[in-house]
Amino acid sequence: MPVVASESVHKEADSGAMGNDATKLTSARAAAAEAGITAPTIENWQRKGWLPAPPWTKHQITMAQRRSRQRPGEGSTAPHGTPARYRAGCPCTPCREAENAANRGLTYRRGMAHWAELGPALLDSLASGVSYQDALAAHGVTQQALTRHRHRDPDFATRLDEALMIGRDPTLPHGTNMGWKARCRCPECRAFHQSYDTQTAD
Ligand SMILES: [Zn+2]
Ligand SMILES: [Zn+2]
């Protein structure tokens, strides 16, 4: 029973496709009407060698139309989904995404290069006992930039915490509100502040 049903569906699809493809488009006007474009475009495709002499099948028109849509960025031999093809003018989604990803990578590499220079000096200041705020100001770093880099580079985050532990004021009660209020940002004072935030938020 299911076999018979699927067979009949198959036959219908076959005859439908054959009927379609058998329709010959004998003039540029007929082909243009079929593709929803103008007759000169059809003639242009013929000049480019994308279409043979008429009559054409619908399939031939469809293939030529597909080709015409691939024209942006045609000068580039780079495949779609690459920054090179995007820069050659292709606006397709894979090309745009490749370009965006490449730019994100560039921002990341620039950030890392910047911190490779800046990081050790900042950590030295912190370890030598310069306060968190003063060290950031002295090195031209915002708290947000520091936080961003800490998340981006776990190794730096570890070294930052080490520097903060070495340089912190030994007279402060760390891991308490008093330490935080005294603007200590050592791991213990930060941990206290985070749990304190969570408690008051509830
Ligand atoms: Zn593309
Ligand atoms: Zn502290």
The model's pLDDT over 31-60, given as tens digits with 9 standing for 90+, comes to 888 888 888 888 888 888 889 889 999 888
Quote the ligand 2 centre to 181 CA distance (angstroms): 10
Statement to judge: residues 149 and 193 lie in one domain: yes
The number of the ligand nearest the C-alpha atom of 189 reads: 2
Pull the structure tokens for residue 178: 């008093």
Domain that holds residue 52: 7-87
The number of the ligand nearest the C-alpha atom of 96 reads: 1
Across the chain, what does the average pLDDT equal? 83
Q: How confident is the model at residue 10 (pLDDT cuts 50, 70, 90)?
A: very low
Residues near ligand 1 ion, CB 5 Å cutoff: 80, 85, 90, 92, 95
- Percent residues over pLDDT 70 in the chain: 82
Quote the ligand 1 centre to 69 CA distance (angstroms): 11
Residue 158 resides in a domain: yes
Residue 95 resides in a domain: no
State the pLDDT at residue 76: 66
Domains in the chain: how many in total?
Answer: 2
What is the pTM for the complete model shown? 0.50
Cβ contacts of residue 192 below 8 Å, gap of 6+?
175, 176, 177, 179, 180
Statement to judge: residues 82 and 144 lie in one domain: no
Distance CA 105, CA 89 (A): 21
pLDDT at 156 exceeding the cut of 80: yes
Three-state SS at 7: helix
Per-residue pLDDT of 52-87, as tens digits, reads 889 999 888 888 877 776 655 555 678 899 988 888
Residue 102 resides in a domain: no
State the pLDDT at residue 31: 87
Residue finishing a domain among 44, 71, 87: 87
Statement to judge: residues 125 and 194 lie in one domain: yes
The number of the ligand nearest the C-alpha atom of 180 reads: 2
Statement to judge: residues 77 and 134 lie in one domain: no
Residue finishing a domain among 41, 65, 87: 87
Residues pairing with 56 in the sheet: 25
Residue 132 resides in a domain: yes
Statement to judge: residues 71 and 144 lie in one domain: no
The number of the ligand nearest the C-alpha atom of 131 reads: 2
Cβ contacts of residue 149 below 8 Å, gap of 6+?
111, 115, 119, 156
pLDDT at 16 exceeding the cut of 50: no
Quote the ligand 1 centre to 101 CA distance (angstroms): 14
Statement to judge: residues 126 and 76 lie in one domain: no
Residue 114 resides in a domain: no
Quote the ligand 1 centre to 103 CA distance (angstroms): 17
Residue 96 resides in a domain: no
Quote the ligand 2 centre to 175 CA distance (angstroms): 6
Residue 35 resides in a domain: yes
Residues 172, 182: contact at Cβ < 8 Å? Answer: yes
Count CA atoms within 13 Å of residue 1 on its CB side.
Answer: 0
Cβ contacts of residue 137 below 8 Å, gap of 6+?
none
Judging by beta carbons within 10 Å of its beta carbon (0-12, 13-18, 19+), is residue 202 exposed, middle or buried? exposed
Quote the ligand 2 centre to 112 CA distance (angstroms): 27
The number of the ligand nearest the C-alpha atom of 173 reads: 2
Per-residue pLDDT of 120-151, as tens digits, reads 999 999 999 999 999 999 999 999 999 989 99
The number of the ligand nearest the C-alpha atom of 176 reads: 2
**Which is higher by pLDDT, 185 or 110?**
185
Residue 1 resides in a domain: no
Statement to judge: residues 12 and 83 lie in one domain: yes
The number of the ligand nearest the C-alpha atom of 164 reads: 2
Statement to judge: residues 124 and 83 lie in one domain: no
